[in-house]
Amino acid sequence: GALDRPMPGKRARVALPPRGACREEGQHRQVFDATGRAVALWPLLAKGGEGSVYPLAGRPNVLVKIYHPAKLAQTGIRLKAKIEAAIILRQRIPELSQLPLAWPQLAVFDGQGNWLGYAMRWAQGRPIRGFRNPALVRRDFPGLGRALLATALCDLIETVKVLHRHQICLGDINLDNFLLDMANGRFWLIDCDSFQLTLDNTRYPCPVGQESMISPEHQGQDLASVQRTPESDTFSLTVLVFMVLMSGRHPFEHVGGSRVAGNIRQSHFPYGQSIRPGSQ
């Protein structure tokens, strides 16, 4: 319906808050699609550092992410351009709709036509951040077996390979950005708005990342200007796979007082041999 059709010829503005104003989540009872049609929102589902997420009323498989006013004021124009590029890529690359991604599907606006955020699929599963602690894994994923976990990780790797074929890099790979759907044995990728995209020779960077997951060549750099690569993604994905399979242990964790990032830079891998890390 109208929710999937862009408005031809209209360039929406980015919603910026009045000076000193702060919107409450309860005010977002409805948003508008690009045609100006109002769609109702259910109560707040989750709130993060960048924005708030609401279910779309009457559409149980759709969520709406509305960026916080401060985020829109700071980087709203760049965010809007990147989300527009992601929506176009989804239209050009049918495979994206078949992958377990919370990928932006369409833009949403306020009643004055100001851009607020986007709608996406409601990803299935539970967050895997608990894999840092074996007790949390047992609590959140009762009955999880090694075979299912290995199969799901292989599926995740295949998903990332498809993205790489289309010049899409995840960039910010960490335990907070994935859900595990045990019913279907799949990992879902969330926070897709942070991915590095390329559309018509324009690159939209991934400006964020956790130091403990960043590849050696990008350590200490300004991530907003870094060009992520399939190789840098593969490094971070390998760290994540290691942590999931090793009860949350990081492959480059502290040894002899060194920080994780320092061990990554120096290739100090403390597992597997009874030698000083990095001596080979």
Under DSSP, the state recorded for 80 is: H
The pLDDT value recorded for residue 50 is 93
Tell me, what DSSP letter sits at residue 279?
-
Q: Token digits for 259?
A: 């920080």
Residue 251, strand partner residues: none
Name which of 93, 113, 112, 115 is nearest 103 in CA terms: 93
State the Cα–Cα distance between residues 146 and 181, nearest whole angstrom: 14
pLDDT at residue number 257? 62
Q: Each residue's pLDDT tens digit in the chain (280 positions)?
A: 444 343 333 444 654 433 333 344 445 689 999 999 999 999 999 998 899 999 999 888 999 999 999 999 999 999 999 999 999 999 999 999 999 999 999 999 999 999 999 999 999 999 999 998 889 999 999 999 999 999 999 999 999 999 999 999 999 999 999 999 999 999 999 999 999 999 999 999 999 999 999 999 999 999 999 999 999 999 999 999 999 999 888 999 866 667 889 889 888 777 766 655 555 5
How does DSSP classify residue 2? G
pLDDT, residue 263, reads 87
What contacts 24+ positions apart, CB below 8 Å, involve 181-186? 181/100, 181/124, 181/125, 182/125, 182/141, 182/143, 182/144, 182/148, 183/124, 184/124, 185/148, 185/151, 185/152, 185/155, 186/100, 186/124, 186/125, 186/152, 186/155, 186/156
- Cβ(53)–Cβ(64) below 8 Å: yes
Alpha-carbon span 82 to 271, nearest angstrom: 40
HEC secondary structure over 88-144 = HHHHHCHHHHHCCECCEEEEEECCCCEEEEEEEECCCCEECHHHHCHHHHHHHCCCC
What's residue 258's pLDDT? 74
Q: What is the pTM of this model?
A: 0.86
Which residues contact residue 36 at a Cβ distance below 8 angstroms, ignoring those fewer than 6 apart?
7, 113
Answer for the pair 237, 157: CB distance below 8 angstroms, yes or no.
Answer: yes
Task: State how far the Cα of 129 lies from the Cα of 200, in Å rounded to an integer.
Answer: 35
Residue 55 structure tokens? 């279910």
pLDDT digits (tens, 9 = 90+) for 181-202: 999 999 999 999 999 999 999 9
What is the rounded CA–CA span in Å between residue 153 and residue 173?
14
Q: What is the pLDDT of residue 277?
A: 52
